[in-house]
Amino acid sequence: MSDAASMGRCTVVVGGQWGDEGKGKIVDVLAWEADIIARFQGGANAGHTVHVGEEEFIFHLIPSGILHPGKRCLMGNGVVLDPFQFFKEYDAAAARGVDPEGRVGVSLRAQLLLPYHRLLDRAREGTSPQKIGTTGRGIGPAYEDKVGRRGIRVVDLKDEARARSLLEEGLARARRRLAELGQADLEGSEECVGETLALRERLLTLATDVGLEIHRALKAGKMILMEGAQGTALDVDHGTYPYVTSSNTTAGGAAAGCGIGPTAITDILGVMKAYITRVGEGPLPTALPPDMDEKVRTLGAEFGATTGRPRRCGWFDGVLARYSARVNGLTGLAITKLDVLDTLPELSIATAYRMPEGVAEEFPADTGSLGKVEPVYEKLPGWEASTKDVRKLEDLPYHARSYLDRLQEITVTPITMVSVGTRRSQIIRVS
Ligand code: IMP
Ligand code: MG
């Protein structure tokens, strides 16, 4: 057997749509069985909401698994780590009785996201003719520095003098770019050199070789959960470019972003809402007409966890779902927020796109044409009954089961979980 064949399990959880599918809740449910929960991409653009009792927790950087005592939470090399946001979240979790001490690790190879990245992100969004509608958290500029081979990694903090000069160079470069963009106000980011160096030792005590830790844990038969952020249609390669985030949100990104071989991954769970939402710019083929959009947004409380922006709502997009199942290699599907549809008399699912060239069943690479497609809808009756207290698939209303069966057929992927509310207990597990 090869070295990659390990005894443990490694489950990757990815978003199958445009983010906000409810990955935070699904990871929270699965975290009971895991030993390590790791993030592999993105940064503080994520907003993972988890409800515990009457309390709501929103995590942007630290894996949602932190709510489970004793579990190790790691941030892989693929993450862009904002050290200020990170410690803010770390300390806030500690203040609310979640003890992160000794449980959180950050990759030595992770890139630092610094205050000037945030300024660049916002300045660019303000001036560019092609607005992406980013979260303004500095994600794009931080990944640009990474692939431009001028980024600063956690490991670079080890040598203080070198770290200082890298930070000063980074700031000077950002200042020139900001001036080009007509932005002179640095909003206090001049202090970021000193402030980052002040966090140096604290961050280094948490630094670890994430790939090695996961490898050893797998060898020891442990269970690893990899928590994706954003969703398939926001993947920098496979999403609706350029209206995407700057990382690989798809399952392939998990191996590269944590430093393990792809053969170590045993399960890939795609999370999809029973309908769809999108926040930020870019096409949403199955967008609802204004009155229905408003209705679903209210029923589903569809406002961004990071920015508070209203999310656009749409019918379940079977074309995107099938594409997601394929590019991620999904082994299972978690359908969330089924209860949001409880009161609707009739539902639609897009099964194909009508385009000028004809009817397409595959998700197009051309984002411009995606903005002009007319979805081919299949209509299904609503169940018009509450599903919130259902805990077994067989107890669901007949039409709710038919709806789920159809999603399963379209994606050719078995549904393993259905979420019917925000609480931890509001979940149906299909074995
Ligand atoms: P960025 O990741 O902040 O650069 O934003 C790029 C695009 O991804 C924008 O359309 C954002 O609204 C979207 N996006 C980023 N993070 C999330 C998320 O966690 N949920 C939903 N959309 C997101
Ligand atoms: Mg979110």
Task: List the domain boundaries for the chain.
Answer: 7-107+208-269, 111-202, 272-429
Contact of 80 with 145, CB cutoff 8 Å: no
CATH number of 272-429: 3.90.170.10
Active-site residue (options: 35, 48, 121, 317): 48
Candidates 177, 210, 172; CA nearest to 193 is 172
What does the pLDDT look like over 265-308, one tens digit per residue?
Answer: 999 999 999 999 999 999 999 999 999 999 999 999 999 988 99
CA distance 318 to 248: 21
Alpha carbons within 13 angstroms on the beta-carbon side of residue 114 total 34
Pocket lining: 236 vs ligand 1, CB cutoff 6 Å: no
pLDDT category of residue 246 using cuts at 50, 70 and 90: very high
Q: What is the pTM of this model?
A: 0.96
What does the pLDDT look like over 105-121, one tens digit per residue?
Answer: 999 999 999 999 999 99
Q: What are the DSSP E strand ranges found in 108-211?
A: 111-112, 207-208
Pocket lining: 271 vs ligand 1, CB cutoff 6 Å: no
Pocket lining: 117 vs ligand 1, CB cutoff 6 Å: no
Fold: same for 7-107+208-269 and 111-202: no
Which pLDDT score is estimated for 6? 53
Instruction: Note the ligand closest to the C-alpha atom of 58.
Output: 2
Superfamily name and number for 111-202: Adenylosuccinate Synthetase, subunit A, domain 2 (1.10.300.10)
What does the pLDDT look like over 351-402, one tens digit per residue?
Answer: 999 999 999 999 999 999 999 999 999 999 999 999 999 999 999 999 999 9
Give residue for tokens 């408003």. Answer: 294
Q: Give the list of residues 6+ apart from residue 395 with CB closer than 8 angstroms, or none.
A: none
CA distance 375 to 69: 46
Ligand 1 atom showing the smallest separation from residue 281 Cα: 10
What does the pLDDT look like over 63-79, one tens digit per residue?
Answer: 989 999 999 999 999 99
Class of domain 7-107+208-269: alpha beta
The yes-or-no answer on residue 48 being catalytic is yes
Contact of 108 with 152, CB cutoff 8 Å: no
CA distance 422 to 384: 19
